[in-house]
Structure 1
Amino acid sequence: MTLVYITDQIYLHGGIERVLANKVNYFVNELNYEVHIITTEQKNNIPCYEIDSKVILHDLAINYNRNKSYFNPLNLIKVPKHYLSLKRKIKAIKPNVIVVCNFAFDFYFIPFVYPEIAKIKEFHSSRHFFHQKRLENKSLFTNFFNKINDYIESKYHCLVLLTTDEKKYYKSNNLLVIPNSIDKHLGKIANTGNSKKVISAGRIAPVKGFEKLINAWSLVAQKHPDWVLDIYGFGEKEYIKSLENLISSLNINDKIVLCGSTNNINEKMLDSAIYVMTSETECFPMVLLEAMSNGLPIVSFDCPNGPRNIFTNNVDGILVEQNNIKAFANAIINLIEAPEKRIFFGKNGHNSIEKFNTNKIMNCWRNLFIDVSSFKFKDYS
């Protein structure tokens, strides 16, 4: 079996990059597949997560300007080169299956390149807000664009979603749900009963809601000034600056640390007591699985379709009403003041992620690759 994965880059820390690295390493080592990753803007950077040397990397060096819309003229003029370069590369590789990970121009033309090759589109984010906007915006242009989008999706042999909740947002009948995978850490787990650190991690962008987390922490710090919040991740400079200004305005500079990105997030989690998340939207946040594998209890906003599919409220964490900052702060305070509950939730979470066992999840992918490469069409809905 020869696979091609297509994405924009694999040098920036993120959920897609982490999941992709885990998958390709498994496929080349456990299933002996030939696996290629084709990027459009790797820019000579090394992958941010370890990728086995048996995985073959290709970069087309299209280098779209990501500060502008894909439909900006400066990006549109690069589309022909992108199309022709990708088509030549696929012809040379001759894969059985192509998997599209990101959402760029290649999403639109891949279904029509080499029809004898099976194509899969992975979706890594929730369509909740997109669906809401689609219902609200009835303009002719928007309806036309949405119909094109639906048509393109129907031309993939399979669309892979992360949760069953997401299926209602799609018009196609070529849907399959395969969650992300993770294995339990069999060695150390976090010393949640003794640590006085709370941790959060992710791309530093408005969608992650870190300003809400900072406002909530200002309330926590009033009751527990000896506790510290560490936030890990890279991101948008202007947004980071606004977070720094917010921290200063709340006079909690010594209570919150913006730590930047790290390659050792597991070690940081092991040194923490609670994991927290205040995202506006998530689909299947890998970082929650990582926190649970390290034995951390979770406090998270109940954002659409994400956290509730990973952990259970009052069993291995606390789900808080979306955007309720005071309730979020109280949930953290509740766990700070109940170390036995932190330990209980952490152990439950560590055990519950067995349902996302790597061998189990990768076997789903293996079966899908066999089906689509044999052009055994199914109604996956």
Structure 2
Amino acid sequence: MNIIYYTDQVYLHGGLERVLANKLNYFSKNTNFKLHVITFQQLNKAPCYKINDKVTFHDLGIHYNRDISFLHPSNIKLAPKHYSRLKAKINEIKPDVIVVCNYEFGFYFIPLIAKKSINIKEYHSSGHFNYKARLENKNVVKKYIYKISDYFETKYDYLVLLTSDEQKYYKSNNTVIIPNAIQETTLKTAKLTNKKVISAGRIAPVKGFEYLIFAWEIVVKDCPEWTLNIFGDGDPKYVAQLKKQIKTLNLENNIFLKGATKTLESEMLDSSIYVMSSLTECFPMVLLEAMGCGLPILSFDCPNGPRHIIKHNEDGILVEYLNIKQLAKNLIELMKDPTKLKSLGYHAKNNMGRLTEEKIMPQWLKLFKKETLN
């Protein structure tokens, strides 16, 4: 079976890239699939996560300006070249299945190009804010664009969503729920004795790190010996904003922006709490990885993902959405209660068994064969 995964790039650290690498490595090890990754803007860079050598990579070399909308005229003029190169590559590979990982011109091109393959669109983020924008939208042009997107969604064999909460955002009846899977959890477990809290992810406003920094201003008054390490890279303007906020609040000795790391598991094992302050998430891999290391989780109860992973007061704590004072209070309580800290961490690691690749990946195999999921 010939399988294509289509995305923009695989050189940046992120949840989508991590999930894709895990899937490719699983299929490389457990099937005889011929696996291909088509990117359009890889920029001659190596994948950020290790991917099995059996996977063949193809880059279309389309250099969009990612600082502006894909619908900006300077980007739209590149679309015909994108279409022709993508069509030629698909015709060359002759795939049985195409999985579209992101959302740009290729989302519209592939149902037009690949009519003989099983076409699957997988969503890695929540449709919450897009749904709200649709409800509030009064722009005629945007309404037309929404209708076009809805139409093309019906042209896919399956839309794969991460949680059941997401189904209400889609009008077509081809949705399937498959959560992200975690590879076998590390045999190591965090000792939970270091006074370190960790957070990680793409440094972008949707991750809500400014809320976490404001909460930490409260935390240090009660627990000044604890530090917060934030790992990841991203929007330079947002990074500068966070650095300025940390300096203004005199937290330079308490909060550290560490940048991206290839040793995130080691950093987690060296920490005692994982905290997430995102405005929205769907099924964040970083939570699964942190729980796999035996870290208790504190997360805003944001739409729509953490509540599908965290069992409140069993393996983590769901904090009222965007409530900074409550986030700080829960952090302080956990820092001062080592018994609860260790109990949450124990259950966090134990509960990840329900989301292993052995449990989740067979669902993908059924889709590739067009079998009905139970």
Shorter-chain TM-score bucket reads: over 0.9
2:105 is aligned to: 105
User: Which deviates further from its counterpart, 140-149 or 44-53?
Assistant: 140-149
Give SS of 2:95's match. coil
1:164 is aligned to: 164
Q: Give, in angstroms, the shift of residue 73 of structure 1.
A: 1.5
Provide the rounded CA distance (Å) in 2 between the counterparts of 1:123 and 1:223: 41
Q: Give, in angstroms, the shift of residue 157 of structure 1.
A: 0.6
**Gaps in structure 1 of 5+ consecutive residues:** none
2:60 is aligned to: 60
1:216 is aligned to: 215
**Map 1:27-106 → 2, pairs under 5 A:** 27-106=27-106
Provide the rounded CA distance (Å) in 2 between the counterparts of 1:151 and 1:329: 45
- 2:7–2:39 CA contact under 8 A, matched in 1: yes
**What CA deviation, in whole Å up to 9, does each residue of 1:121-143 have, x standing for no partner?**
00000011111111122443232
1:319 is aligned to: 318
Q: Give, in angstroms, the shift of residue 184 of structure 1.
A: 4.3
Provide the rounded CA distance (Å) in 1 between the counterparts of 2:186 and 2:51: 22
Q: Give, in angstroms, the shift of residue 63 of structure 1.
A: 1.4
Provide the rounded CA distance (Å) in 1 between the counterparts of 2:312 and 2:103: 32
Provide the rounded CA distance (Å) in 2 between the counterparts of 1:184 and 1:89: 34
Q: Give, in angstroms, the shift of residue 29 of structure 1.
A: 1.4
Give SS of 2:172's match. coil
2:369 is aligned to: 370
**Map 1:209-358 → 2, pairs under 5 A:** 209-358=208-357
- 2:22–2:183 CA contact under 8 A, matched in 1: no
Superposition misfits of 4+ residues, deviation over 4 angstroms:
none
1:145 is aligned to: 145
Provide the rounded CA distance (Å) in 1 between the counterparts of 2:306 and 2:186: 23
**Gaps in structure 2 of 5+ consecutive residues:** none
1:12 is aligned to: 12
Residue identity in the other structure for 1:222: K
**What CA deviation, in whole Å up to 9, does each residue of 1:47-74 have, x standing for no partner?**
0000111000011110111011101111
Give SS of 2:230's match. strand
Provide the rounded CA distance (Å) in 2 between the counterparts of 1:265 and 1:186: 12
Give SS of 1:12's match. coil
- 2:62–2:78 CA contact under 8 A, matched in 1: yes
**Map 1:177-192 → 2, pairs under 5 A:** 177-192=177-192
Residue identity in the other structure for 2:46: I
**What CA deviation, in whole Å up to 9, does each residue of 1:241-265 have, x standing for no partner?**
1111111111110001100000110
Q: Give, in angstroms, the shift of residue 188 of structure 1.
A: 1.1
Residue identity in the other structure for 1:92: E
Provide the rounded CA distance (Å) in 1 between the counterparts of 2:294 and 2:353: 13
**What CA deviation, in whole Å up to 9, does each residue of 1:250-305 have, x standing for no partner?**
11100011000001100000000000000000001100000000000001000011
- TM-score, normalising length: structure 2: 0.98
**What CA deviation, in whole Å up to 9, does each residue of 1:185-220 have, x standing for no partner?**
25210011x110000000011110001101101110
Give SS of 1:57's match. strand
1:195 is aligned to: 194
- 2:184–2:357 CA contact under 8 A, matched in 1: no
- The alignment-based identity, stated in percent, is 53
- 1:14–1:203 CA contact under 8 A, matched in 2: yes
Provide the rounded CA distance (Å) in 1 between the counterparts of 2:114 and 2:129: 33
Give SS of 2:369's match. helix
Provide the rounded CA distance (Å) in 1 between the counterparts of 2:165 and 2:101: 20
**What CA deviation, in whole Å up to 9, does each residue of 1:168-189 have, x standing for no partner?**
1100000100000013425210
Provide the rounded CA distance (Å) in 2 between the counterparts of 1:149 and 1:68: 20
Residue identity in the other structure for 1:145: I
- 1:35–1:55 CA contact under 8 A, matched in 2: yes
User: Which deviates further from its counterpart, 131-140 or 30-39?
Assistant: 131-140
- 1:200–1:277 CA contact under 8 A, matched in 2: yes
Provide the rounded CA distance (Å) in 2 between the counterparts of 1:3 and 1:186: 29
Give SS of 1:219's match. helix
**What CA deviation, in whole Å up to 9, does each residue of 1:131-165 have, x standing for no partner?**
11111224432322211111000000110000011
